[in-house]
């Protein structure tokens, strides 16, 4: 077994700080984009992007992230995790500048894909460096502390994005990535050794090509269904079928490789596989409901970006409180009796969007978001720590690649499916209100509620704007019900696959966070 070098505790703490800054960078980017979606859809203040383009602006990032991550882990094993990490930061900062000054939706989608490449290089190296830096109980504590950066990013991102959108143009939300990336690069150069595996994995270009083409084809078909509002067209079902076939071939190819970059065999382990499937389903639901939330607050309710960012703060605080609360409960009860009820509650809060309307009191929305963030934090933190923290060091890179790839794939499909359900349902709901309107007005109003509000103002038809709001809320209700079912399925998977207390093999070893924090 490979034994990592022992570093002074003061240096370990500084390395952990650098890794948290980099994780914060990724979370900031995810949350600021969700706040900017409504502005990007606006034909005057943004790019006039339609729902399909917004799905691609979000999905192109996660597609690149998901499909390149396991290759990035292999690159880190071969050339050193610090080298790959630094390259990812440079790409991420450069593509953030590109996104900030994109002149149309197509350029933004391409820039977001490049940002996804940078994130794919950053994320596996981030966790691998953490695993190499810390050992024993200190590693478990470091993972727990590291996970709090997600909550900080979730809290700061919407508020920061709201402030920038209220005072500057939409591209400013991407410029904030640049100084954070520069700070992280300096910390990497000064503090972090260039850890690498003594037995590097092959790069696996065949697997990378199959996974990218499969996910792109699948996402294209799902998003295209929302654009044309039917599933029977060949340009909808054919890409979906091709994508599924390519992904199946990808798994078969990886199973035949002696040392695969993405190891499906890890998913065959009941606990590791089940935990990852549940996390993938949860991230599917989170991505879809976040997509709805952005348009509900700023579009249907008319909140400013700043107010919408402030409204979302309870979600972040709930996530911040959920991770340490779950850690304490897991020590006493084991993982399953904590994670399964928490994921069930998370699913119910997503279904709760089906009861929100145009006149729902703000206090009820805040309570719903707080409980949602708390329950999600109670799932992601302890489940990730249990899955990754118990892998042998030699499997850290492969395990983190599998976990992050599954989660990002869930997000990609969640955005595609959730957005498509919303688009199809919205078009059907708005159709009766378009009778008697001029053809160009009808065409624009069918695109999205944002476009309908804009054209309603231009042609002085306030009833059309009201109809668009009602149609959107109806679409959100239908989508929320579907999303809740998916999240509940994740809870069922955890219930079946996580070991229960009292079995011969015993529960998953739970990290002693309180004891470990003192040693970090």
Residue 300 DSSP label: I
Q: Which tens digits make up the pLDDT trace of 83-107?
A: 888 899 999 999 999 999 988 888 9
- Give residue 435's pLDDT: 81
Per-residue CA distances from 378 to 57, 230, 237, 293, 342 (Å): 29, 38, 37, 21, 6
Per-residue CA distances from 462 to 142, 312, 453 (Å): 55, 29, 8
Q: How far apart are CA 71 and CA 293, in angstroms?
A: 33
Q: How far apart are CA 30 and CA 47, in angstroms?
A: 19
Confidence of residue 470 (pLDDT cuts 50, 70, 90): very high
Q: Which tens digits make up the pLDDT trace of 227-280?
A: 676 778 888 889 889 988 988 898 888 778 776 666 677 776 777 788 888 988
Domain 9-204+257-510 of CATH type 3.40.50.300: no
Confidence of residue 505 (pLDDT cuts 50, 70, 90): very low
Core vs surface per residue 138-167: b (16+ CB within 10 A) or e = bbbbbbbbbbbbbbbbbbbbbbbbbbbbee
The SS3 of residue 203 is coil
Q: Would you say residue 180 has pLDDT above 90? A: no
The distance from CA 294 to its chain's CA centroid, rounded to whole angstroms, is 15
Task: Give the number of other CB atoms < 10 A from CB of residue 460.
Answer: 7
- Give residue 69's pLDDT: 74
Q: How far apart are CA 62 and CA 64, in angstroms?
A: 5
Domain boundaries, the chain: 9-204+257-510
Q: Which tens digits make up the pLDDT trace of 116-126?
A: 899 888 887 87
Q: Which tens digits make up the pLDDT trace of 416-453?
A: 888 888 888 998 898 888 887 788 888 888 878 888 88
Confidence of residue 362 (pLDDT cuts 50, 70, 90): very high
Q: Name the helix (H) or strand (E) containing 497.
A: helix 462-497
Q: How far apart are CA 461 and CA 391, in angstroms?
A: 61
Nearest CA to 191 out of 18, 9, 5 is that of: 18
Model pTM above 0.95: no
Per-residue CA distances from 158 to 155, 173, 225 (Å): 7, 10, 30
Q: Residue 446: which residues within 8 A CB-CB, separation 6 or more?
A: 427, 430, 431, 434, 452
């Amino acid at each position: 077994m490979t034994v990592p070098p022992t570093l002074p505790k003061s240096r370990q703490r500084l390395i952990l700080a650098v890794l948290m800054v980099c994780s914060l960078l990724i979370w900031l980017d995810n949350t600021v984009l969700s706040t900017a979606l409504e502005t990007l859809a606006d034909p005057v203040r943004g790019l006039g992007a339609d729902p399909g383009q917004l799905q691609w602006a979000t999905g192109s990032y996660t597609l690149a992230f998901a499909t390149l991550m396991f290759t990035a882990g292999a690159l880190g094993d071969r050339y050193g995790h610090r080298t790959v990490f630094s390259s990812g930061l440079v790409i991420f900062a450069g593509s953030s500048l590109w996104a900030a000054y994109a002149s149309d939706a197509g350029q933004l989608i391409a820039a977001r894909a490049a940002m996804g490449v940078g994130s794919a290089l950053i994320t596996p190296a981030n966790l691998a460096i953490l695993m190499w830096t810390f050992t024993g109980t200190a590693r478990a504590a470091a993972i727990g502390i590291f996970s709090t950066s997600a909550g900080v990013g979730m809290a700061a991102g919407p508020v920061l994005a709201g402030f920038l959108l209220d005072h500057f143009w939409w591209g400013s939300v991407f410029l904030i990535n640049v100084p954070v990336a520069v700070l992280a690069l300096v910390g990497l150069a000064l503090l972090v050794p260039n850890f690498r595996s003594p037995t590097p994995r092959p790069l696996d270009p065949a697997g990378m090509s199959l996974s990218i083409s499969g996910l792109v084809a699948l996402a294209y078909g799902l998003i295209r269904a929302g654009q044309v509002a039917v599933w029977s067209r060949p340009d909808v079902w054919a890409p979906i079928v091709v994508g599924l076939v390519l992904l199946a071939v990808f798994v078969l190819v990886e199973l035949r490789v002696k040392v695969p970059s993405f190891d499906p065999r890890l998913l065959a382990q009941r606990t590791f596989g089940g935990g990852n499937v549940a996390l993938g389903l949860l991230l599917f639901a989170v991505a879809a409901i976040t997509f709805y939330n952005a348009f509900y607050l700023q579009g249907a309710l008319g909140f400013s970006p700043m107010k919408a960012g402030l409204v979302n703060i309870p979600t972040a605080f709930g996530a911040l409180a959920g991770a340490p609360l779950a850690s304490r409960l897991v020590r006493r009860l084991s993982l399953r009796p904590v994670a399964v009820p928490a994921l069930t509650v998370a699913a119910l809060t997503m279904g709760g969007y089906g009861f929100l309307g145009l006149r729902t009191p703000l206090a009820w929305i805040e309570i719903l978001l707080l409980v949602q963030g708390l329950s999600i934090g109670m799932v992601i933190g302890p489940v990730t720590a249990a899955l990754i923290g118990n892998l042998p060091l030699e499997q850290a890179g492969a395990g983190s690649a599998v976990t992050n790839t599954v989660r990002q794939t869930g997000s990609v499909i969640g955005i595609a499916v959730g957005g498509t359900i919303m688009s199809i349902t919205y078009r059907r709901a708005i159709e009766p209100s378009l009778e008697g309107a001029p053809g160009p007005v009808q065409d624009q109003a069918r695109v999205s509620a944002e476009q309908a509000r804009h054209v309603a103002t231009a042609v002085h038809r306030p009833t059309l704007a009201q109809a668009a709001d009602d149609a959107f809320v109806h679409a959100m209700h239908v989508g929320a019900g579907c999303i809740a079912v998916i999240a509940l399925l994740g809870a069922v998977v955890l219930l079946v696959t996580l070991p229960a207390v009292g079995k011969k093999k015993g529960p998953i070893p739970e990290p002693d966070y309180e004891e470990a924090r003192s040693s970090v």
